[in-house]
Structure 1
């Protein structure tokens, strides 16, 4: 298989982001202890933290017994699940991302600090995601939207499959950002982009193994791999966004296709020349800024009930 020419696919500003990320989070970080991985990841995220937009505040509190961070807004709520391979990340790693989501949409945002592996293997994170979502739905204003990046995209989709069919609990839409949804790691983008910058196929396999305690993954369990579900009917409208240069890229398209075939409004977007983790580049890389604007416009339209009628092709 031909290796993609990343020098051609990826532009200069994105390479600057990649080099800055790798300086803080070296490619061999996955071989370190879990504690060291978390410390390095948290330090990298602090280096990219942009602060809060004017007028945005947050408060840490429990929803459904799960630690969360609430960014107050109006007229609807986004429940956000952070990325990090189910192993790293938390309320601080995506703090400014959630603050920017709140500022751009005007909606409440609740970031969920779900339990991490290996201390808490599957289904701990899924259980926390569902518990927090139910508590948010009971307290904060509808419509309720689910969103997440990478591992968080998996949790958002899994939560939608468990709780969000036919508008249950006020769940009106979901936005999945470079999600890992349980695609076949021996085909497609997993091989084409096996050695992509920022995330490799080996990384995907490593973190996947940790998630299920290095035992065989559960068969056809949508709480673990939403693509393995047998029923895609009644799910909320969905925008699934892939980074082009990412082994996970095919998962977004495959998931949107399954939803559309079941009659659910769904769309997949491949963000040209972008890499896994590009949310941290939303203020420095024009392509990432355009994608973040797409994300916030879509969430706003979903909250108004006007997506996909007001289809965003920007």
Structure 2
């Protein structure tokens, strides 16, 4: 089996239509374009899939430590003091508070909890560990007032969420009561399993994953950069992991969930059988994505204690 093989394809019409719309904004060879072009295309794509915000939700932008932009979301109904820290995806290269704005708003509204999104520094202007440090500093600021936090993120944001949660666990820091990782990039080997089987599926290729790793310049043996390399995962908080079947990152989720379970962590793993990477953006046009999003909201609600 080689990376040049033809990868399998999903069959759900909704997710295929979603991918077709994505390609009209973000071409398959986008990683060969300039960083400025990649960000322009990504912003246009995200705007295409941004529905109106939930009624009654309040947003407020702020700075943490005088330098890190964050956005606070307070839904019309809040039933818990626990807050969600959300870290956006985008390969560590693209993404912003605006790119995931509607998604964060719907998560806060669905979980009936306040949510804080972080606008961490992006590569290649800021390589490892800049993004990690920003997310860790925002987490520290949220924990400083004594309220508990659930850490969540998608794709590259899932990597950062797992990394700051792991570091906090190793330091025996209290206050993180859960983590939710959505098709996270956790440091798989790029040469086996889903990295071969799903090398050229729609949405994200193995070559794309390799490109983003090269841009990030994180050390391969650092467990907070690549949590799958951590020797011990015991002591981590309850975890929800959502994977897409048609995604080269799929086995990162499978392997991390299995290792968490073996370490005695309360972990729930869900794999979306017809979904591709970034399926969360398809939640309003794909039945499978809508179902996956419903389960994610339920999981976050459980972690923050509203169900």
Q: Distance in 2 between matches of 1:229 and 1:264?
A: 14
Q: Which residue of 1 aligns with 2:188?
A: 183
* 1:5 equivalenced with 2:12 (yes/no): no
Residue 262 (structure 1) shift:
1.0
Deviation at 1:18, TM superposition (A): 0.3
Q: Aligned equivalents of 1:66 and 1:164: distance in 2?
A: 23
Matched, 1:151 2:149: no
- SS of the equivalent of 1:168 reads coil
1:239–1:267 Cα contact (<8 Å) kept: yes
Deviations 1:118-145 (A, max 9, x none): 0100000000010001111224x73310
Q: Note the C-alpha offset of 1:165.
A: 5.6
Task: Confirm or deny: 8 A CA contact 1:30 1:37 kept in the other structure.
Answer: yes
- Does structure 2 conserve the Cα–Cα contact (< 8 Å) formed by 1:167 and 1:236? no
- After TM superposition, the score normalised by the length of structure 2 is 0.93
- TM superposition score normalised by structure 1: 0.91
CA 1:165–1:105 in 2, change beyond 3 Å: closer, same or farther? farther
SS in 2 for 1:93: coil
Aligned partner of 2:206 among 193, 201, 217: 201
Residue 55 (structure 2) aligns with: 54
Aligned to 2:134: 128
Counterpart-to-counterpart distance in 2, 1:267 and 1:166: 24
Query: Any unmatched runs of 5+ in structure 2?
Result: none
Tell whether the 8 Å contact from 2:8 to 2:201 is kept in structure 1 after alignment: no
**Greater relative contact order, per chain length (Cα 8 Å cut-off, separation 6+):** 2
Matches within 5 A, 1:14-53: 14-53=15-54
Distance in 2 (alpha carbons) for counterparts of 1:195 and 1:14: 16
Mapped to 1, the partners of 2:210 and 2:171 lie a distance apart of 34
Aligned to 1:86: 92
**Structure 1 residue ranges (4+ consecutive) displaced by more than 2 angstroms after TM superposition:** 1-5, 164-169
Q: C-alpha displacement at 1:184, in angstroms?
A: 1.1
